[in-house]
Structure 1
Amino acid sequence: MSTPARRRSPEEGHGPNARPAPHDGAELSWPQEVSHTPSMSIGAVLALLKPEFPAVTLSKLRFLEEQGLVSPRRTGSGYRMYSRADAERIRYALTQQRDSYLPLRVIREQLADLDAGREVEAPSRARVVSRDGELVRPAPGARVSAKEICELTGCTEDELDEMARAGLVLADTRGRFPGRSVQVVQAALALGRHGITPRHLRRVRTAADREADTIDQVVAPTRAQRTGAARERGAAQAGELAELYASLHAELLRSAVDELG
C-alpha cells in the first residue's frame, strides 16, 4: 500500500523557522512515486533542468528553496543534496511559471495540495489557436511580431495599430511586441465587441503604468542588492504585488458595477 500524501508544513525547508524534511519511512511529499533519496548536487539538478529551462540558474534554485517549494537535504559540510522528487518539484514550479504565468504563492499552494493528495485544477489558458489547432500563447519574455499577434488572435492590422496608438500594446525598436500583448489584444477585442474601443481603454493603460511605478519603488531596495538571489526575490515580489493589485482592481470594479443598480 502506498504511503498517504502529507501536506507540507510552512516550517519545513531552510527558511528562518525551517525544520528538516521527513526522512525515510515518514510520509512523503509529492511526487510520492519518485525517489526521495538525496543523490544529486545543486549543479547536477541545474544540468538536468537546463535543456528544458535554459534561463534557470543556481540562484534560481536557491531562491525556490528559500521560498519553501523544495527542501533539499544538507550534508555535514552544508552542501545541498537533492532527490529526484526535489527535481520534479522544481520542474513543476518552473513549468507553471513559464507556461501559466503563475506567481510563486499560487504554485506553493498547488504543491501543498499535491502533497495532500488533492487534485490541482489546471489554470485557464488564453484562447489562442495556432496553426495546428493547439491552444498556445507566447512564453514569458518572448517577443512577437505584429503578424504573429494577428495570426494568433484574429485581429486585423488596423485594429492592432489602433491599440498601439492607444498605448495598449507597445512595440520595441524592431517592431516586436512582448508576448503578453497576445492576451492584451484578446481582451481588447472582446471589449470591442461590446462597443468599448481602445480609446476608452487608454486610462486602463495609464493606471497600470502608475501601479507598476509604485511596485518598482517597493522592490527597488531588493533589486539594488545586485545578487542573483536578490533579483529573483525582487521579481517574485513584483509578481505577487501585481497579482494583489489585479485582485484589488477586480473587486473595486465589481463593487462599482454593483452600485449601478
Structure 2
Amino acid sequence: MSGAARTIGVVLEMIRPEFPDISVSKLRYLEAEGLISPDRQQPSGYRRFSQQDVDRLLYVLRAQRDRYLPLKVIREELEAIDRGEEPPVHHPQPAEESSEPRQRAKRGGGSGAGLMARRQVLAESGLGEAALIQLERLRIIQPRRGSQLYGPEAVALAQSAKKLADYGVDLRQMRVLQQAAAMEAALVEQILEQYRRRQGPPPEVVRDLYRSVLQAHAALLHGQIH
C-alpha cells in the first residue's frame, strides 16, 4: 500500500503512535496554512494523501516537536526543499529559553510573537468550539488583554481541558485549578516585589522561582493523591 493514496483517517492512524494528540482539525489547519497539500480532486471530494504528503506532514510535526520551530520558519524550509535546495539550518530553541519572549508578549511588550488566532488554538489543541466557548465564559481561557489573539498558555489549557473532559471532568471544575494557580501567582509576585524596587528581577531568578513553585505544586499534589 506504500504507493496508494490514503484517506485522512488512515493517515491519522499511521502517525498517531508518534503523535498521540494529532487530530483532523490539526491536519486541516496545516493544509489551510499551505504546509501540506493533499489531493482533493477526487469525485468524492475527500482528501487523499500520497506517501509524499505523509512524509511532508511528518516533517512539519517533527519540526514543531523537536526543534520548536514556528510555522513560518517550517514553511521556509519546505519551500527550499521544493526548489531542490538544502533548507536553512534552524537550531532548536528549548521551551525554557523561549519563555522570556513569551513573557514579554504577556506584559504587552515586543511585537506579539508567539500569539495565535482562535482557529489555531482549536487546531493545535483538538478542543471543540463549544468547549472553548464554555472555557471563555468561565474566564479560564481568554485572549491577551487588548487583543483578539491568544498566548501559548491557551493551547496548553485547552489540551488539558480536553483530556480531563475525556475522564468525565466537567469543564467548570477547571476553576479549582484556576484558583490554585491564582494563589501561586500571588506568591510569586510577592517574592518578586523586592526586585522590582531595584532594576527588576533577573531572568534566571524568575525561571528558578517558577520552577521551584511548580516543583512544590507537583510534590504536594502527589502527596495528596498518594
Q: TM-score, normalised by structure 1?
A: 0.44
Larger Rg: 1
Q: Give the structure-2-normalised TM-score.
A: 0.50
More helix by share: 2
